[in-house]
Amino acid sequence: NAGVMQNPRHLVRRRGQEARLRCSPMKGHSHVYWYRQLPEEGLKFMVYLQKENIIDESGMPKERFSAEFPKEGPSILRIQQVVRGDSAAYFCASSPPDRQNTEAFFGQGTRLTVV
Amino acid sequence: AQSVAQPEDQVNVAEGNPLTVKCTYSVSGNPYLFWYVQYPNRGLQFLLKYITGDNLVKGSYGFEAEFNKSQTSFHLKKPSALVSDSALYFCASSMDTGRRALTFGSGTRLQVQP
């Protein structure tokens, strides 16, 4: 059973370009979470999705950021018109449905560098 | 609202000595508490969790944590540290109702000296 798969592992974008980060959850997991980690800091929640639904996006910046988790395919975190401050590690986590107390499993992250 | 505090940015301990990494939490309901470890340029690995029941929770790699409701703490411990335990440790919480996403502490870097 493969773990949470994120790609790419490293992404370099110029200011103003778009960044697309992909996350395939563990098999059987229908809940996906995106977190952002700035250097030497903890993880900050961005968005929580279930298949075809955004459940909680309270941590997502209102502009330029969007996320989706379609019925088929991976979850996508999209950042439009990237700026230097978007440089960070973006982690995806997944968990099974209907179990509030289960731990989330994390991918290895995508390290975004904006130049 | 919930918050998690890790008061120490770094903990240094000699190999073979016991280690403690501190965590306190603030939640309005019943918390679920977790410890994760992060090695350089890697994702987070789950160590252990407290949901309910025994206050002493045993996890991976010989780690354990004690839930203390009166002190709102969930300190991570290990009786005998290894050099390979050197990593970044995160305490996190979620709620038994409502928001499922994890709230993380700022992390504590554990350095185990040979």
In this prediction, residue B99 has a pLDDT band, given cuts at 50, 70 and 90, of: low
| Residue, of A11 and A27, whose pLDDT is higher | A11
What ranges in A1-115 are assigned the alpha helix state H? none
Identify residues of A whose CB sits under 8 angstroms from chain B CBs.
4, 6, 31, 33, 35, 40-45, 48, 55-56, 59, 91, 93, 95, 100-101, 103-109, 111
Please give the Cα distance from A49 to A47 (Å, whole number). Answer: 7
Dump the DSSP string for B85-108.
G-EEEEEEEEESSS--S-EE---E
Query: B74: which residues sit within 8 A by CB, 6+ positions away?
Result: B23, B24, B25, B33, B35, B50, B65, B66, B67, B68, B91
pLDDT of residue A24: 97
Length of chain A: 115
Is B101's pLDDT higher than 90? no
Is A50's pLDDT higher than 80? yes
pLDDT digits (tens, 9 = 90+) for B37-67: 999 878 899 999 998 888 999 999 999 999 9
pLDDT of residue B109: 95
Distance from CA of A25 to the nearest CA of B (A): 14
How do the residues of chain B divide into helix, strand and coil, expressed in percent and rounded to 5? 5, 55, 40
- Chain B residues near residue A95 by CB distance under 8 angstroms: 100
Both tokens assigned to A8: 């790419």
pLDDT digits (tens, 9 = 90+) for A51-105: 889 999 999 999 999 999 999 999 999 999 999 999 999 999 998 876 666 788 9
* Closest residue on chain A to B10 (Cα): A40
Task: Walk across the sheet containing A19-24 and list its strands.
Answer: A5-7, A19-24, A75-79, A65-68
Mean of per-residue pLDDT scores for chain A: 92
